[in-house]
Amino acid sequence: MDFEVAPLPYEKNALSPALSEHAVEVHYEKHHKGYMAKLKAAIGGTPQGQRSLEEIVQGASGTLLNNAAQVWNHTFFWESMKPGGGGAPSGRVAELFERDLGGYDGFREAFIDSGVKHFASGWVWLVVHRGMLRVVTTPNALSPIMTSTPPLLTADLWEHAYYIDYENRREAFLETFCDQLIDWDRVAARLEGVPTPGGEEFADTIVMNK
């Protein structure tokens, strides 16, 4: 399969001032495309090159997993944001927030707190787990698509995602992400077709052994 990095769903300056054009440029052109270049070098001429990106993420390990998952996660991250986004959602997402997370304020607190407390690099996600909306983190490149946990939203916790604009202030980045960047229309679309009957509690960090 001829993999290419998906184009951004908006211009590189469209998220400013929440994320500057320079920050998006470096993140997308250097980091996201850098993972893709390493992935393509690893799978060229191998049977893995005939598989979809999700299939590679779900079946790989080691360096191949790291690069494939980072490509997938970054695309999902860019598509989790839009210009003029953020704030409280409406519709089904809002209803499930009330049921599962104590409303939007409960989601926002959990999302920011989980992202701040997550040690080192990784990702913070809104997922559907056992029929309920939950906030989880994954270390390094790991992704909920490696499990039966559909992701709805993610923010990148690697320093390259926020250091240009926010230096070491991860909390400020996550606050801005929630208040000014989340594409709730995209979250609602991802939620369609995912059963949410309610279920059991679970740990707030997905640990996957690969």
Q: Which domain holds residue 25?
A: 21-78
Q: Which long-range contacts (CB under 8 A, 24 or more apart) does 91-95 make?
A: 91/188, 92/188, 92/191, 93/184, 93/187, 93/188, 93/191
pLDDT digits (tens, 9 = 90+) for 94-152: 999 999 999 999 999 999 999 999 999 999 999 999 999 999 999 999 999 999 899 99
- End-to-end Cα, the chain, rounded Å: 24
Tokens read off for 113: 């707190």
Assess whether 57 and 114 both reside in one domain. Answer: no
On whether residue 3 sits in a domain, the answer given is no
For residue 97, give the nearest of 138, 149, 153 by alpha carbon: 153
pTM above 0.85, yes or no: yes
CA distances from 175 to 86, 113, 129, 163, 169 (A): 10, 10, 24, 14, 10
On whether residue 4 sits in a domain, the answer given is no
CATH at residue 31: 1.10.287.990
Q: Which of the residues in the chain have pLDDT under 50?
A: 202-203, 205-210
User: In the prediction, which pLDDT does 210 show?
Assistant: 29
User: In the prediction, which pLDDT does 55 show?
Assistant: 95
On whether residue 165 sits in a domain, the answer given is yes
CATH at residue 177: 3.55.40.20
On whether residue 166 sits in a domain, the answer given is yes
On whether residue 103 sits in a domain, the answer given is yes
Q: Number of folded domains in the chain?
A: 2
User: In the prediction, which pLDDT does 91 show?
Assistant: 97
Amino acid letter, 23: A
On whether residue 185 sits in a domain, the answer given is yes
